[in-house]
């Protein structure tokens, strides 16, 4: 299935775009998707950084199974002072 993954802030800058079409197999999980994004964009996030993913406006853990048409967003860590 093909999903359009929206990237925000630092991830958008590192990927050079705000939306990335990604093809994953049926039954793919959030973990599968983040693995594919790391493969395509090696500088997206260091391996020790957990990429936060929202699916259909809810934060999703790595085991969530993706469905066709899901609204998927990758949200980088936030820092402030």
pLDDT tens digits for 38-53? 999 999 999 899 999 9
Residue 51 belongs to a domain = yes
Q: What is the pLDDT of residue 80?
A: 53
- Convert the pLDDT of each residue in 21-77 to its tens digit: 999 999 999 999 999 999 999 999 998 999 999 999 999 999 999 999 999 999 998
Residue 35 belongs to a domain = yes
Q: What is the pLDDT of residue 78?
A: 74
Q: What is the pLDDT of residue 56?
A: 97
Residue 80 belongs to a domain = no
Structural domains of the chain, count: 1
| Helix (H), strand (E), coil (C) string for the chain | CEEEEEECHHHHHHHCCCEEEEECCCCCEHHHHHHHHHHHCCCCCCCCCCCEEEECCEEECCCCECCCCCCEEEECCCCCC
Residue 18 belongs to a domain = yes
How would residue 13 be classed by pLDDT, with cut points 50, 70 and 90? very high
Residue 60's domain spans which residues?
A: 2-75
Residue 81 belongs to a domain = no
CATH code at 46? 3.10.20.30
């Amino acid at each position: 299935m093909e999903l359009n993954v929206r990237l925000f802030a630092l991830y958008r800058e590192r990927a050079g775009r705000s939306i990335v079409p990604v093809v994953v197999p049926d039954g793919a999980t959030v973990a599968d998707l983040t693995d594919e994004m790391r493969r395509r964009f090696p500088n997206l996030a260091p391996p020790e950084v957990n990429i936060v993913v929202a699916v259909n406006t809810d934060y999703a853990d790595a085991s969530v199974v993706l469905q066709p048409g899901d609204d998927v967003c990758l949200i980088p860590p936030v820092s402030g002072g």
